[in-house]
Amino acid sequence: MTPRILIVEDEDALALLLRYNLEAEGFHVEVIMRGDEADLALREQLPDLLLLDWMLPGISGIELCRRLRARPEAERLPVIMLTARGEESERIRGLKTGADDYLVKPFSIPELVARIHALLRRAAPSRVASLIVVGDVELDRSARRVRRAGADVHLGPTEFKLLEFLMSHPGRVYSRESLLNNVWGTDVFIDDRTVDVHVGRLRRVLNRGRKADPIRTVRGSGYAFDERFGR
């Protein structure tokens, strides 16, 4: 249940500091100090999040990240890169390699923690594959079924796809345009506002007789499934 974080960092002091703080934050932390050892360990088991130093003995963080991204099961593993200031100019390369986020040393622990939470929140659902659960809303892709507080909720095909897409990245805001592209498809010519109507219908049936609405309207931007919903 508690997220597992793997730290790959060769500096003793920093590794210790990170372990201490992240464990205090309630994470299950593991530290490896060499790139090549981390590579081996990652073949055995994937953590929920990887904290990767840029320069490492054995294999560099960049190379490690590149190898990782080549594995389909690690495709969505959140990776945060740590770099010293001098290496900063290469940050573009770092992100291109597939890191999800990027911190320049020295960084503040609260900031790191915030970023970890943000990435975990976003990554969580995708690894569960067929069942997405947020708060009291469950969506089962393979069974094409949605439940609210355990009770079945009947959705039309479009409403289902819409909810599925929104729930696939809880918290993330999608523009109407993006929703049209991802739910309806890119080749259709449909009015933006149609999205509003479907969101409205989705809400009506999903919230029937309930007060809390898991779908957040973001004025001027679009809609999001509230990842904090029910917490």
Partner DNA sequence: ACACCGTGTCACAAAACTGTCTCCGAAACG
Partner DNA sequence: CGTTTCGGAGACAGTTTTGTGACACGGTGT
Residue selected from 34, 136, 194, 229 as contacting DNA according to rule CB under 7 A: 194
**C-alpha to C-alpha distance for 178 and 163, rounded to whole angstroms:** 14
Minimum separation from the CB atom of position 184 to DNA (A)? 6
Residue 153, classified by CB atoms within 10 Å of its CB into exposed (0-12), middle (13-18) or buried (19+), is buried
105: partner contacted, choices its own copies, DNA, none (Cβ within 5-8 A by kind): none
Q: Could you give the CA distance from residue 182 to residue 166 in angstroms, rounded to a whole number? A: 10
Min. distance of Cβ 58 from its own copies in angstroms?
26
Q: Does 197 bind DNA (CB under 7 A)?
A: yes
Q: Of 23-31, 84-92, 140-148, 154-162, which part binds DNA (CB under 7 A)?
A: 154-162
CB atoms within 10 A of CB 99: 25
**Nearest Cα residue to 63 out of 25, 105, 94:** 94
Our CB check for its own copies shows the closer of 16 and 218 to be 218
Binding residues with DNA: total (CB under 7 A):
26
Please give the Cα distance from 197 to 180 (Å, whole number).
Answer: 12
| Cβ nearer to DNA, comparing 53 with 159 | 159
Catalog residues that contact its own copies under the rule CB under 8 A: 76, 91-92, 95-96, 100-102, 108, 110-111, 114-115, 118, 122-123, 125-126, 129-131, 133, 138, 140, 142-145, 152, 156-157, 171-173, 218-221, 224, 227-228
129 burial class (0-12, 13-18, 19+ CB within 10 angstroms)? exposed
CA separation for the pair 102, 51 (Å, rounded): 10
| 228, interface contact from its own copies, DNA, none, CB < 5-8 Å by kind | its own copies
Asked if 168 and 126 touch (Cβ cutoff 8 Å), the reply is yes
Q: Please say whether the dihedral angle defined by the alpha carbons of residues 146, 149, 154 and 156, taken in this order, is positive or negative.
A: negative
Choice between 126 and 210, CB closer to its own copies: 126
Minimum gap (Å) between residue 130 Cβ and DNA: 20
66 backbone dihedrals φ, ψ, rounded to 5°: -60, -45
Q: In angstroms, give the least distance from the CB of 167 to DNA.
A: 17
In this complex, which beta carbon is closest to its own copies, that of residue 36 or of residue 140?
Answer: 140
Judged by CB under 7 A, the chain residues 158 through 187 that form the site for DNA are 158-159, 184
